[in-house]
Amino acid sequence: MAALDLFSESGFAHVSVKQIAARAGVDPALIYYYFAGKEDLFAAAVGHAVETGYAVFKRLAGDGDDPVRTLAVWLDVQEAPGSTIPKMARLGLDYRRSGASIPAVDAALKRFYDEERRMLMRVVRTGLARGLFHDVEPGPFARFVSTYLDGVTVRTVVLDESGPAAVDRFRVEMWRRLGLKTPPRRKKFIAG
Amino acid sequence: MAALDLFSESGFAHVSVKQIAARAGVDPALIYYYFAGKEDLFAAAVGHAVETGYAVFKRLAGDGDDPVRTLAVWLDVQEAPGSTIPKMARLGLDYRRSGASIPAVDAALKRFYDEERRMLMRVVRTGLARGLFHDVEPGPFARFVSTYLDGVTVRTVVLDESGPAAVDRFRVEMWRRLGLKTPPRRKKFIAG
Amino acid sequence: MAALDLFSESGFAHVSVKQIAARAGVDPALIYYYFAGKEDLFAAAVGHAVETGYAVFKRLAGDGDDPVRTLAVWLDVQEAPGSTIPKMARLGLDYRRSGASIPAVDAALKRFYDEERRMLMRVVRTGLARGLFHDVEPGPFARFVSTYLDGVTVRTVVLDESGPAAVDRFRVEMWRRLGLKTPPRRKKFIAG
Amino acid sequence: MAALDLFSESGFAHVSVKQIAARAGVDPALIYYYFAGKEDLFAAAVGHAVETGYAVFKRLAGDGDDPVRTLAVWLDVQEAPGSTIPKMARLGLDYRRSGASIPAVDAALKRFYDEERRMLMRVVRTGLARGLFHDVEPGPFARFVSTYLDGVTVRTVVLDESGPAAVDRFRVEMWRRLGLKTPPRRKKFIAG
DNA sequence: TATGAATGAGGGTTCATTCAT
DNA sequence: AATGAATGAACCCTCATTCAT
């Protein structure tokens, strides 16, 4: 559903059902045929984003034998234009404000962050096992990366800093943190 | 003004003028006696938060001879209950979504982040000059801290992670980054 | 649309959308389903009045072979109860005050007055060609009639003078002006 | 009071007490010290306009021995910039719409129109007595002039026709109606 | 499956008016 | 005589939602 685009662009409260319907090319009333209400639609959109995130995680899990590349791809995803994944934080931030808490959304957000941390920890453990990384604890590192990426998202939105530039700065930071040489910027990305 | 509380709690669009008036114990119409409109009120609230940030910056500048303590205090401010400073990110993030851009707010947010970075760079330079820090570049470090703190704010809101815990994790991270031993948690803080 | 009634009775600013909706027996919000806003509704009402005027003009144009009767009918229209045509002036007068100028309304009013003048001039020319009228210049006469009718409308409203009486006085005036004998009052009228 | 200016410029409902106070350079609350309310203020403003009209009538009555000049001056007054007299129609028209009828204003408006008609009739009678006018009945003529001038006011406002031009056209009309040669345009006027 | 019509609730804002000072 | 502060009512408008078709 294209509702996700609008939600992630403008947040929950700032988007009207009419706008979503217009972008989807249907009548607003039709949305109520498929969804119980705006909250349900929002939950579906967030759920879709989370599923997308899962898909990426799984693909990255297949790269398990190359932890450095896995991390690189994950960062690339952050800056992929139109990527819905880094927008999770925004969605959640905005949604959390509206006062009313939607259980389905709460669960989806928590699951997303959990899964992200799990993936990052797995990556670090693999790297350590192979002697690729030094001096890194999986748990703190995962939390560090995850939180920092949310900060990057905020900065991108609030200050209109170009996302890629912020991500690039972070890449250097992270690589050093892992005891690696800074790698060249990757071109490949996976759209969300 | 107590409007800041509500705005930072719930964002710009989620808060009605009526709610703000109710919390302030006055009639909604009275707000229009003091402010030109909701946007003006919002700008005033953001401006107030920025001024508060300035006051802290200046106090911290007085601690210039102890850069480690300055950083510690700055982190403490982040977790001070009711502190307006970490709310900047939320205010800005939500506001940026609403579509309508308020010049006064744009300027205030930019100024706040600029000033924060300047303070952090000054701290690092002082520490380097005295041989306290090692292997740190002021610019990247400032950006790193500033961005990460925004991420902490997001996590606090979205996942209801306790803010102090997140800040504590970050403190360890940062101290190590500066080549320091992790210090004990400080109790003192400066309320916003 | 019954909005025209209220607008012409009470002007633009004096009528609330809620009142119009109440008279129409619908919810105020429904009005915003059909019209973009109060101004749009007003423009539609004025436009409708103008179209009604056009219809009358055309019917009168069919009477082209009897200029005296055409004029008589035109005057009758002025006093027809509920007639929207003489309300044009009032609508315009009130609207012009509100400060905000609505292009669609501006155009409609101008068009109405232009069309009225054109019709009056045609009538006079026909009458002159057939030797029915004497000593009359089409242009000045048209302007004279048109302006005077606006004055009649004002008087009707301000002084509660009965419209018909004022129109009757004017009929005498006009007939003499055309070099004709004063005719008996006509009964037939065309409702607006 | 300068309130009259605003009222006659923009009507009763379109002018706020705050605006009037601002133009007068005082606090809105002070108005309620001198007047019982907005309606009272409006009544006072209309009353002032009527008094001004009286003053002009009396001055014109002094010219009783020159009826042609009296009429010329009366027309000049209509086009005098800032003259309050031709604004009577507008004031009354707008006010009459507001639904609530203010007795003091009703009386003032009626008195104004009565007095105007009386003056016009006196002029015509004098002219007839001296053999200056021909074929004119005082009553109908007075009503004719008075009504037409209201129409001129409407046209000026609605169509932005220049008031002077409309008055000039009417002057020709009226002079001819009186059996006179059209006189040159007079320069002198009496400010309201 | 799809939509046009309809509505109740609430939001931001203005304004005439009052009152303490 | 003059004003700053305060308010209740009303206004225009939006929006999520429902229902008949």
Phi, psi of C17 (to 5 degrees): -60, -35
Q: Alpha helix (H) ranges present in C63-181? A: 67-79, 87-97, 103-129, 138-159, 163-177
Residue type, B138: P
B-chain residues within 8 Å CB-CB of A94?
11, 93-94, 97
D165-179 burial code (b ≥16 CB/10 A, e <16): ebbebbbebbbebbe
3-state SS, D68-106, equals: HHHHHHHHHHHHCCCCCCCHHHHHHHHHHHCCCCCHHHH
Residue with the larger pLDDT of the pair A175 and A61: A175
Nearest of A133, A112, C57, A151 to residue B148 by alpha carbon = A151
What number is the average pLDDT over the span C121-136? 87
Chains C, B in contact, 3 or more Cβ pairs below 8 Å? no
Q: Name the closest residue (CA) to the C1' of nucleotide E7.
A: C27
Contact call for A97 and B14, based on CB within 8 A: yes
Give the pLDDT score at D164. Answer: 66
Supply the DSSP symbol for C131.
T
Taking an 8 Å cut-off on Cβ atoms, the answer to whether B97 and A155 are in contact is no
Residue B9, pLDDT above cutoff 50? yes
C149 contacts chain D (CB < 8 A): yes
Q: What gap in Å lies between CA A111 and CA A59, rounded to an integer?
A: 18
Of A97, A109, A110, the CB nearest to B10: A97
Q: Residue B4's pLDDT is what?
A: 64
Mean pLDDT of all residues belonging to chain B: 78
Is the CB of residue A38 inside 7 Å of nucleic acid strand F?
yes
Would you give the DSSP letter of residue A64?
Answer: T
Percent of chain B with pLDDT over 70: 78
Contact D143 C89 (CB under 8 A): no
Q: Say what the pLDDT of residue C161 is.
A: 63
pLDDT band at C64 (very low <50, low <70, confident <90, very high): low
C92 touches chain D (CB under 8 A): yes
CB-nearest partner of B13 from A14, A110, A140: A14
Residue of chain B with shortest Cα separation from A108: B159
Q: Write out which nucleotides of chain E lie closer than 7 A to a protein Cβ.
A: 1-20
Distance A36 CA to E18 C1' (A): 49
- What average pLDDT does this structure show over B130-146? 86
Give the closest-approach CA distance of B191 to chain A in angstroms. 23
Q: Is the pLDDT at C169 greater than 90, yes or no?
A: no
Does pLDDT of C190 surpass 60? no
- Closest to B44 measured CA to CA, from B91, B97, B4, B98: B4
For residue D16, is pLDDT > 60?
yes
Candidate ranges C133-142, C153-162, C174-183, D173-182; pick with highest mean pLDDT: C133-142
The whole-angstrom distance between A34's CA and the closest CA on chain B is 26
- In single-letter form, the type of residue at position A188 comes to K
Token couple for C122: 């045609």
Of D18, D37, D70, D59, the closest CA to residue D178 belongs to D70
Per-residue pLDDT band at B191 (split at 50, 70, 90): very low
More confident residue, B144 or C33: C33
Distance CA D21, CA D28 (A): 5
At D118-130, the pLDDT tens digits run: 888 988 899 889 8
Contact between the CB of D33 and strand F at under 7 Å: yes
Nearest CA in chain C to D173: C144
CB contact under 8 A, B154 and A94: no
Using the CA of A19, give the nucleotide whose C1' is nearest. Answer: F15
Cβ A94–B149 below 8 Å, yes or no? Answer: no
Query: pLDDT tens digit string along C33-54?
Result: 999 999 999 888 888 888 888 8
Residue A47 at interface with chain B, using a CB cutoff of 8 Å: no
Do residues A2 and A23 lie in contact, with contact meaning Cβ atoms separated by under 8 Å? Answer: yes
Nearest nucleotide from residue C17 CA, by C1' atom? F12
Residues of D in contact with C169 (CB under 8 A): 140, 143-144
User: Does residue C183 have a pLDDT over 60?
Assistant: no
Burial of C65 (0-12, 13-18, 19+ CB in 10 A): exposed
Give Rg (Cα) of chain A: 18
Amino acid D115: pLDDT? 87
Domains and CATH numbers, chain D: 46-178 (1.10.357.10)
Q: Residue C178: pLDDT above 70? A: yes
**Is C10 an interface residue toward D (CB < 8 Å)?**
yes
Interval A154-186: pLDDT, tens = 777 766 666 667 777 777 777 777 777 655 444
Question: What's the pTM value of the predicted model, to 2 decimals?
Answer: 0.85
In our burial notation (b when 16+ CB lie closer than 10 A, e otherwise), range A123-137 reads: bbebbbeeebbeebe
Residue of chain D whose Cα is closest to the Cα of C94: D94
Q: Which of A97, A98, A160 to mutate to test the interface with B (most CBs of B within 10 A)?
A: A97
Q: Is C152's Cβ below 8 Å from some Cβ in D?
A: yes
Is the CB of residue A15 inside 7 Å of nucleic acid strand F?
yes
Check if the beta carbon of residue D182 is closer than 8 Å to that of residue D73: no
Please, which pLDDT band fits residue B192 given cuts at 50, 70 and 90? very low
Q: Give the integer Cα–Cα distance in Å for B3 and B46.
A: 10
pLDDT tens-digit map of D129-162? 988 888 788 888 888 888 888 888 877 776 666 6
Going by C-beta distance under 8 Å and a sequence separation of 6 or more, which residues neighbour residue C65?
C126
- Residue C93 touches chain D, beta carbons under 8 Å: yes
CB-CB under 8 Å, B110 with A159: yes
pLDDT at C191: 36
Q: Where are the beta strands (DSSP E) in B27-96?
A: none
Instruction: Count CB-CB contacts under 10 A for residue B181.
Output: 7
A109 pLDDT more than 60: yes
A28 contact to strand E (CB, 7 A limit)? yes
> Which residue of B lies nearest to A142 if distances are taken between CA atoms?
B169
Of A77, A95, A83, the residue nearest A13 (C-alpha): A95
* Interface membership of A148 toward B (CB under 8 Å): yes
Looking at residue D192, its pLDDT comes to: 35
